Amino acid sequence: MNGPAKKTHIKALGRAGLEQWVSTLGEKPYRARQLWKWLIQRGAVSFSDMTDLSKAFRARLEATAEIKSLRQVSADGSRDTGAVKFLWECPDGNRIESVHIPEGDRRTVCISSQVGCGLGCLFCATGRLGFTRNLESWEILDQVIGVRRETGAAPTNIVVMGMGEPFLNYDAVMDALAVMNDPEGLAIGHRKITVSTAGVIPGLLRFTEENRPYKLAVSLNAATDGLRTRIMPVNRKYPIAALMEAVRAYSRAPGRRVTFEYVLLAGLNDSREDASRLLALLRGLPCKVNLIPYNPAVGGFQRPDEDRVERFLEWIKPLRSPVIVRWSRGADIGAACGQLAGSRPDRQDSPAFEGPTGGLR
Ligand code: SF4
């Protein structure tokens, strides 16, 4: 005996797929546009929300399709900054995190691209989890739709800087960003969208070749291969010289200015010599530098004190590029850079990390 027919997961179809699916139902193309609007622009979580669709069409949708969404598990607000860390559960039970960071008129959402991360940066809580799987495109997008629903305000900026390495889930990330950028999707300007990589060169080259319009951030954190490999094992495969060559190729097109993230780890990468090496590495490159005093996420690293951070800032002034110190917002809720660990029920009790190094971006 046959079981009930499997329902179509329509959020996973994308816009073109939705149009095609609607046509297989014998419905007019405008029906697809209506559905898309409900799913993406209005964030509908059930067909009964779609009040301008006929009852007959809604009944048909109920019978043949389903709307899967990320389920909100928790939302922790920061007393200090107003940042909110959202924990979501995917339909398969995996959990991921996103962070909403309001700042004046700007409402930035930091989103995850993978469940866990296989790159194992030592300063990063996500790195401790290891890699579970890539997120699907709709799961990446649904984080933004979910944050908009929960906060009641449309996000203005997106940073793909949460759990995971976006260039190791390239296609799904780019598909999701295309919908965020689409005027008929979430209509977020491409210059308001930033993809942050730990330095996965093939993805960076593809991003450059495909002329993707989004901004690029590179999590650098060290100016020598020895130290970078120690805190970011990905550097073994993609060492600094090759990474910088790929960044320079990206920067050749007009108007492109990469942002380098540099997490300051006391006694490890915050000396005058470190600053000089960083200067030498970035000289002549159109760039910005974000210095991020380390947030204690996993044991072993220390945050430099404010004097030290100020001195580092002075030392790299000759770069003549904009340098800002980003005291990460949301540290009290574990939502600052490097602190997202998407607590999975089976991983919450993992033993404390005891190594001396860690990373973050
Ligand atoms: S810093 Fe980014 S790339 Fe490194 S382990 Fe964490 S999530 Fe992965």
Q: Could you tell me if the CB of 119 is within 6 A of ligand 1?
A: yes
Residue closest by Cα to atom 5 of ligand 1: 127
**Final residue belonging to a domain, choices 35, 66, 97:** 66
Please give, one letter per residue, the 3-state secondary structure of 261-330.
EEEECCCCCCCHHHHHHHHHHHCCCCEEEEEEECCCCCCCCCCCCHHHHHHHHHHCHHHCCCEEECCCCC
Residues 310 and 243 occupy one common structural domain: yes
Which residues have a Cβ under 8 Å from the Cβ of 343 and sit 6 or more positions away? Answer: 87, 95
Q: pLDDT at residue 344 above 60?
A: no
pLDDT tens string 299-336 = 689 999 999 999 999 999 999 899 999 886 666 666 55
Band of pLDDT at residue 134, cut at 50, 70 and 90: very high
- Establish whether residue 331 lines the binding site of ligand 1, counting it when its CB lies within 6 angstroms of any ligand atom: no
- Which domain covers residue 48, as residue numbers? 8-66
CATH number, domain of 22, equals 1.10.150.530
- Asked whether the CA dihedral 86, 91, 92, 93 is positive or negative, the reply is positive
For the chain, the average pLDDT equals: 90
Residue 350, in any domain of the structure: no
| pLDDT tens sequence across 8-67 | 999 999 999 999 999 999 999 999 999 999 999 999 999 999 999 999 999 999 999 999
Mind listing the pLDDT tens digit for each residue in 195-216? 999 999 999 999 999 999 999 9
DSSP 28-95: -HHHHHHHHIIIIIS---SGGG-TTS-HHHHHHHHHHEE---PEEEEEEE-TTT--EEEEEE-TTS-E
Residue 339, pLDDT score: 62
351 pLDDT higher than 50: no
Residues known to be catalytic: 97, 337
What's the 162 CA to ligand 1 centre distance in angstroms?
8
**Cα 160 to Cα 147: distance, rounded to the nearest angstrom:** 14
Helix (H, G, I), strand (E, B) or coil at 106: strand
Residue 355: inside a domain: no
Look up the pTM and report it. 0.91
Domain finish residue from 48, 66, 84: 66
The verdict on residue 358 lying in a domain is no
DSSP letters along 123-172, please?
Answer: T-HHHHH-EEEEPPHHHHHHHHHHHHHHHSS---EEEE-SSS-GGGGHHH
The answer to whether residues 278 and 261 touch, using CB atoms and an 8 Å cutoff, is no
Residues 84 and 144 in one domain: yes
Which of 96, 124, 292 to mutate for ligand 1's pocket (most ligand atoms within 8 Å of CB)?
124
β 287-293/95-103 pair status: unpaired
CA of 338 to the centre of ligand 1 (A): 7
Do residues 54 and 93 both lie within one domain?
no
CA 221 to chain CA centroid, nearest Å: 18
Instruction: Tell me if 252 is assigned to some domain.
Output: yes
Tokens 């660990």 correspond to: 341
361 lines ligand 1 (CB under 6 A): yes
pLDDT digits 0-9 by tens, 145-193? 999 999 999 999 999 999 999 999 999 999 999 999 999 999 999 999 9
26 and 163 belong to one structural domain: no
Are 175 and 279 members of one domain?
yes
- Asked whether 117 lines ligand 1 (CB < 6 A), one says yes
Question: What integer pLDDT is reported at residue 299 of this predicted model?
Answer: 60
201 & 306 share domain: yes
